Chains A and B, each alone.
Chain A
Amino acid sequence: MTSTHRGPGRARRRMHLAAHFPGVNNTTVWSDPRSGSQIDFASFEHLARTAEAGLFDFFFLAEGLRLREHNGRVHDLDVVGRPESITVLNALAAVTDRLGLAATVNATFNEPFELARRLATLDHLSGGRAGWNVVTSSDAFTGENFRRGGYLDRADRYTRAAEFVATARELWDSWPSSDEAPRPFVHQGRQFDIAGRFTVPRSPQGHPVVIQAGDSSDGREFAASSADVIFSRHGTLEGGRAFYTDVKDRLARYGRERDELKIMPGVTVVLGDTAAEAQERAAEIRHQQISPQNALHTLEQVWGVDLSGHDPDGPLPAFDPDPDSALVQGRVRLADPVTAAAKWRALSEEKGLSIRQTVIEATGRQSFIGTPEAVAAELVEFVDSDAADGFILVPHLTPAGLDGFVDRVVPLLQERGAFRTEYSGRTLRSHLGLKAPAGERATEPVSERVEDSVTERVGESVS
């Protein structure tokens, strides 16, 4: 743990912070009495305003295009039901001023012209704060809700996604500036064969910020070639460093500099007045997240068979999983359930854990648990040691789950010179210290844009 304490104003590498809206997933604790609606606009407004009060870079929404199924029926234990992301973000643009607004939108079940237009519109309506988290989907299960339908091989998914992003950028670039007439575009590729005129003038950011989430080699390569931010899952210091080095090393292949892609792991934070209190609170949250029913469901996701006869407080099944099971739909199943099950069994035997305790132990994501001082120090250490450029916080409560972090941790990060004390620019690109897209003729004053990026770069080079 670093003990370096630099005063305010001292240059040090500044971290980036983003907030994930804790909508639909099994992280969100809905049984807590403080848990509010995951669908009312007031919840989104609360979380976005909190993130902006904390000077966060952006606010981030996930996506789901078909309700998850378990054993042939809609999964009913976790939070389910969400609004459509870009529409919510447009509404949030009215109640925030600086906060970046990023939507997860699938490149498999959308078309470049329409999505490029929607993102450019969001960028205009928010004054340059739009972000797009590109994801892909391969499964026919989700495809049953779409005209496009069908199935894409894993490799084809990324081929389509990469061509999708490139095509969107061609459309955005076809309008050289907001004052000039657009050039007609023609794109003839393997995935898309389209032509015409893009109908939204160049938006304040030129290109909305592109975010990518994914850990496979294909995903890392795609991020290195195309993304501005990568949403990673590597929250440990060692894992984070290895991932950071690997991804940053790939950038040169595409003629990109190391600071052109920001690495931001998704993490959870649990605070307490003492370390012990924080640990106790974290354990309580894990128990709320993994109810007895959820523990069995999660186990069934690994084993691939109905385990409803098992006692969640009893031992793990003695038999091996069914590797070909289609019990779970709409969620990625482990590539190798037999190995995973063996690991879980070993863990359970070693520590004498029940099914529920094993699931709690085995499925936890990286958490920063402790007093505000300890958490702030740990976050700084991650950034100082090249394990991350910043963090995407995943609160477990809607909509007040960020309140404590913003009230208690952000000021400490600011005191250490590790986080901004005010927004210096207006666009998401400027918050992230990203260069303007090549060929851009900016619609906001060029001087402001240049100053922002210079400030960020100086801050980084001195640290």
Chain B
Amino acid sequence: MTASTGRGLLHLAAALDLPGAYDPQPYTELVRLAERGALDFVTLGDSFGRPGPDALAVLARLAPVTGRVGLVPTVTTTHTEPFHLQAAVATLDWVSRGRAGWQAEVSQGEHEARLFGRRDAAPPEALWREAADVAEAATRLWDSWEDDAEIRDTSTGRFIDRDKLHYVDFQGATFSVKGPSIVPRSPQGHPVIVVDATDPHARDTAARYADVALVRAAGPAQSAALRTGLRTAAAAHGRDPDTLRVLAALAVDLGEGEYAAEPGHGGGGPRPSPYGPLYRGGPVDLAELIAAWHSSGAADGFHLTPVEPRRDLERLVNGTVPLLQHRGLFRTFYPGSTLREHLGLARPANRYALVGDPS
């Protein structure tokens, strides 16, 4: 499997996390900044175990005040109802007119299990197997309405063509779902699935279901190796590896602190930190690092988590992005309107629609 890249434009995403913020205003300022930078998408993390608002709700609140940027909340799969989860993500796609994603995550530990009181904590292997089941059930439910199921045929009195609605009959190890969904197929067909594949337990789920995999790598060689591994695994699941975007995930501190990059070396390189690899330096050096990693085939793009959200996102958008645009490595405007279009990913065919149906 070839892992070469550097051909296409790179993809850029940023985390919107603002610890302690429950009011929409600061999120609005950040997401508008990200959109001004023409970023592919923003993410918002979530977990039942730590303070913070429901991430999908925040991004739904931001949908009407933005027009192009992709909106990717984390929604965990361990304690939620898969039917509710898929409906909420599809609805985010409807309210954003095709800009929704879903970062799948699991809930580990007894502490979160006690908040629900329904099941004991389980090891990560089992949780990620279940996350894969949730992704399978969700994608089936997203296909459970064919795109043209709504017919409004006054001559027969039928609002829908029920032959174009499908039971999904999913049977997993921990749950089953009958279907069809209550939500008609959304603008993107399938909202974009994102999985952080750094944890080896998450890798198989990422290879099977992710449109975008995140890898937290300290250097380009490690990132390239993870990317190659994910593409190989995707192919083994019968996927075209070019339908998987692998983004290197870095925390960034653009305050030009003590680990400022050495000029001309593509940055001093990320250092280990509690958030994963942390890049520290200036916006110009970050552009240098991104260009160097991208051209060496380390990643299809980058997911950046600003350490100081307002300051660092502003420096990223006003400093790093224009340099990448100037080099022709990053878009200067959104040519499309959906997140799939930003990522260069096709709208998935519906698995239930009859291929070559002559009617």
Residues of A that sit less than 8 Å from B by CB: 30-31, 39-41, 45, 64-67, 73-84, 86-88, 90-91, 93-95, 109-111, 113-114, 117-118, 121-122, 124-125, 144-149, 192-196, 199-201, 203, 291-294
Contacts and interface: CB of A to CB of B under 8 A. Distances in A.
A148 B118 CA distance: 10
Contacts of A118: 54, 57
14 contacts: A39-B94, A39-B183, A41-B64, A76-B158, A81-B150, A81-B183, A83-B87, A109-B84, A110-B84, A125-B24, A144-B177, A147-B174, A194-B117, A200-B53
Interface in B44-60: 48-54, 56-58, 60
A42 to B, nearest CB: 9
Contacts of B82: 147
B310 interface: no
Contacts of B81: 109-110, 146-148
Contacts of B177: 144-146
A290 to B, nearest CB: 10
A65 B182 contact: yes
Nearest to B157: A293
B159 A76 contact: yes
B152 A74 contact: no
Given A65-B83, A82-B183, A41 B57 contact: no
A200 B165 contact: no
B175 A147 contact: yes
Contacts of A110: 81, 84
Interface majority SS (helix, strand, loop, mixed), chain A: loop
B49 to A, nearest CB: 7
A56 to B, nearest CB: 19
A88 B117 contact: no
A87 B53 contact: no
Contacts of A199: 48-52
Q: Which 5 A-B pairs have the closest CB atoms?
A: A293-B157, A90-B60, A144-B178, A91-B95, A83-B91
A147 B118 CA distance: 11
B182 A90 contact: no
Contacts of B90: 83-84
Nearest to A32: B154
Contacts of A86: 57, 88
A384 B23 CA distance: 40
A426 to B, nearest CB: 14
Given A79-B159, A125-B58, A193 B117 contact: yes
B162 interface: yes
B174 A81 contact: no
A110 B149 CA distance: 29
Interface majority SS (helix, strand, loop, mixed), chain B: mixed
B62 A194 contact: no
B315 interface: no
A95 B58 CA distance: 14
Given A73-B162, A90-B58, 6 more contacts: A41-B94, A65-B83, A94-B62, A125-B24, A144-B178, A149-B176
B71 to A, nearest CB: 11
Contact of B178 (A145, A148, A294): A145
A90 B54 CA distance: 11
B54 A94 contact: no
Interface string B65-85: 100000000000001111110
Interface of B: 22-24, 48-54, 56-58, 60-65, 79-84, 87-88, 90-92, 94-95, 97, 111-112, 114-118, 145, 149-150, 152, 154, 156-162, 165, 174-180, 182-184
A113 B48 contact: yes
Contact of A93 (B61, B84, B92): B61
Contact of A84 (B91, B114, B165): B91
Contact of B79 (A83, A111, A292): A111
Contact of A83 (B24, B94, B115, B118): B94
Given A77-B159, A82-B183, A193-B117, A146 B83 contact: yes
Contacts of A31: 152, 154
Contacts of A109: 81, 84
A77 B53 CA distance: 39
Contacts of A64: 182
B56 A87 contact: yes
Contacts of A78: 159
A194 B112 CA distance: 10
Contact of B116 (A88, A113, A145): A113
Given A145-B179, A194-B115, A81 B184 contact: yes
Nearest to B187: A40
Contacts of A291: 157
Contacts of A75: 162
Nearest to A64: B182
Contacts of A192: 117
Contacts of B94: 39-41, 83
Contacts of B176: 144, 149
A376 B357 CA distance: 54
Given A117-B54, A147-B175, A294 B157 contact: yes
A294 B149 CA distance: 19
A67 B54 contact: no
A122 B58 CA distance: 9
A74 B64 contact: no
B24 A84 contact: no
A409 to B, nearest CB: 28
A125 B117 CA distance: 28
Contacts of A79: 159
Nearest to B161: A76
B302 to A, nearest CB: 28
Interface centre among A41, A67, A201 (most CB of B within 10 A): A67
A233 to B, nearest CB: 23
A88 B91 CA distance: 7
Nearest to A193: B117
Contact of A201 (B22, B91, B160, B184): B22
Contacts of A95: 64
Contact of B165 (A40, A45, A67, A144): A67
B153 to A, nearest CB: 9
A88 B182 CA distance: 14
Given A74-B165, A76-B158, A82-B182, A195 B174 contact: no
A328 B165 CA distance: 18
Nearest to B165: A74
A121 B53 contact: yes
Interface centre among B53, B79, B161 (most CB of A within 10 A): B53
A189 to B, nearest CB: 10
A144 B137 CA distance: 13
B80 A114 contact: yes
B25 to A, nearest CB: 10
A308 to B, nearest CB: 13
Nearest to B76: A114
Contacts of B154: 31
A91 B61 contact: yes
